Structure 1
Amino acid sequence: MTYPPQYQYPDGGVSDKSKVVAGILGIVLGGFGAGRFYMGDTKTGVWQLIVSLVTCGIGGIWGFVDGILILINGGVDGQGRPLRD
């Protein structure tokens, strides 16, 4: 399916967000959902924050692992566009 130019993403559909920045934020501040908030995925960012608070910080492992996976596999931003390298 082809969309008219006004509905296509700029730069061939690649996000303006960096996977390196998202991954580092996930590793360092993953318990606060910082990497997901940066990517525009606020729903997952809020869940990471809630899990971390409810488990007294132990749930921060989720954000740490998520940051590593973003660095290795990449990811998509809040609009579904792949992150830049």
Structure 2
Amino acid sequence: MSQGPENPYDPYQPQGGQPEGGQPGGQPGGQPGGQPYGTPPPAYGQPQQPYGQPGGYGHPQPYPGYPGVMPMGMPGAPYGVHPVTGIPYSDKQKVIAGLLQILVPFGIGRYYVGDNGIGTAQLLVTILTCGVGALWPVIDGILMLATDSKDANGLMLR
């Protein structure tokens, strides 16, 4: 017993209109959008329409963080970028700056990162207080090691 093209359950026969079951798709139990069950997927290598975009693939938006900040791998950030803030890393190292502040408490670590004003202030306070003011550079060195510090240009110490 052969059924002809009027078979409502044949997925390869085009169906039109609203079926008696009241479901869209041209057949009872059909998929929304007029695609019947059993429709083969697109061939390998053909782009599919992404969800939520009207046509084609969209381009990723630039990083909305700090202006002028280049993402990792770009020429403006040769040492990479901080994973949370997106600020590029400096060529200066946090460990060296912190240890210089702690071991040589004359503001040498601040000179290393380029903060000449604070380095000079720490040097003068240490000399004028006969060494008592050396507590400031030591505490500053500990804070450099414990937090995300920046150099004089505003770049994160690596």
Q: Same fold (TM over 0.5)?
A: yes
Inter-CA distance 62–9: structure 2 relative to 1 (3 Å threshold): farther
Q: Which has the higher helix share?
A: 1
Inter-CA distance 71–4: structure 2 relative to 1 (3 Å threshold): closer
Superposition TM-score, scaled by structure 2 size: 0.47
Superposition TM-score, scaled by structure 1 size: 0.85
Deviations 1:30-72 (A, max 9, x none): 2x11110001100000000010011011000000011111111
- 2:101 is matched with 26
Aligned length in residues: 81
Give the letter aligned to residue 47 of structure 1.
Answer: A
Aligned mate of 1:68, from 135, 142, 147: 142
Aligned mate of 1:16, from 91, 97, 110: 91
SS in 1 for 2:104: helix
Distance 2:69 2:97 in 1: 30
Distance 2:113 2:69 in 1: 26
- 1:44 is matched with 118
Larger relative contact order, structure 1 or 2 (CA cutoff 8 Å, min sep 6) = 1
Greater Rg over alpha carbons, structure = 2
Q: CA RMSD in A?
A: 2.0
Give the letter aligned to residue 10 of structure 1.
Answer: A
Deviating runs (4+, > 6 A) in structure 1? Answer: none
- 2:56 is matched with none
Inter-CA distance 19–40: structure 2 relative to 1 (3 Å threshold): same
Specify every segment of 5 or more residues in structure 1 that has no aligned partner in the other structure, as ranges: none
Inter-CA distance 16–29: structure 2 relative to 1 (3 Å threshold): same
Percentage identity across aligned positions?
A: 42
Deviations 1:4-50 (A, max 9, x none): 97xx84234210100000010010012x1111000110000000001
